[in-house]
Structure 1
Amino acid sequence: MANRLVPAFLIALLLVVHAQLWFGRGSVGSVSSLQQKLQAQKAANVQSQQANDRLASEVRDLKEGLEMVEEKARAELGMVKPNEVFVNITQSK
């Protein structure tokens, strides 16, 4: 009887560990899902970092000189300096 009890216990323990590997917390599927989420978050972080760098560059340009302010006023507000002629060329297809 004792000879059969130890192997049965070891087999049961092996089944529990194996079930934990496939279905429990930290299972193969769970790790795969978390890795995909991590890759998506890293991509989002890269995009956010690029946007932050662009904004920081724009702020630095605005602080350092008036060229950026003038460029923005021309592009967004249609600013024209005195003695300048505004010409708008459109291409028809």
Structure 2
Amino acid sequence: MWRDKWVPIVLLILLGLLQYRLWLGKNSILDYVALKKEVHTQSLHNANLNQRNVLLKADINDLKIGLEAIEERARNELGLIKEGETFYRILPAEND
């Protein structure tokens, strides 16, 4: 009686072990889903960085080619004025 049933029992045990490894073991489907989310997040981050790099390259090219960009930066960031110009600072009125 047991001689006829030991093959299906062994096969069921092997199937159970394979299913366990597929769903819960190392490199399982759960790990795959987590890595897929991580790759998507990293792709979005890389896209943002690429966009920032494109803007920085355009800014660098503008600074290399045109003097207007250099002058604008000097005025805005360093507060420089040209010779012969008069600087006026307008302060907002204080409300009591």
TM-score (norm 1): 0.86
- The residue type paired with residue 5 of structure 1 is W
The structural deviation recorded for 1:19 is: 0.3
Query: Any residues of structure 2 matched to 1:45-56 within 5 Å, and which?
Result: 45-56=46-57
Q: Which runs of 4+ in 1 moved over 3 A?
A: 90-93
Partner of 2:73: 72
Number of residue equivalences: 93
Q: Name stretches of at least 5 consecutive residues in structure 2 with no aligned partner.
A: none
The structural deviation recorded for 1:5 is: 1.8
Alpha-carbon distance in structure 2 between the residues aligned to 1:89 and 1:39: 49
Alpha-carbon distance in structure 1 between the residues aligned to 2:90 and 2:80: 17
C-alpha root-mean-square deviation of aligned residues, in Å?
A: 1.7
Alpha-carbon distance in structure 2 between the residues aligned to 1:19 and 1:66: 67
Q: Name stretches of at least 5 consecutive residues in structure 1 with no aligned partner.
A: none
The structural deviation recorded for 1:26 is: 2.4
| % identical equivalent positions | 34
SS of the equivalent of 2:55 reads helix
TM-score (norm 2): 0.83
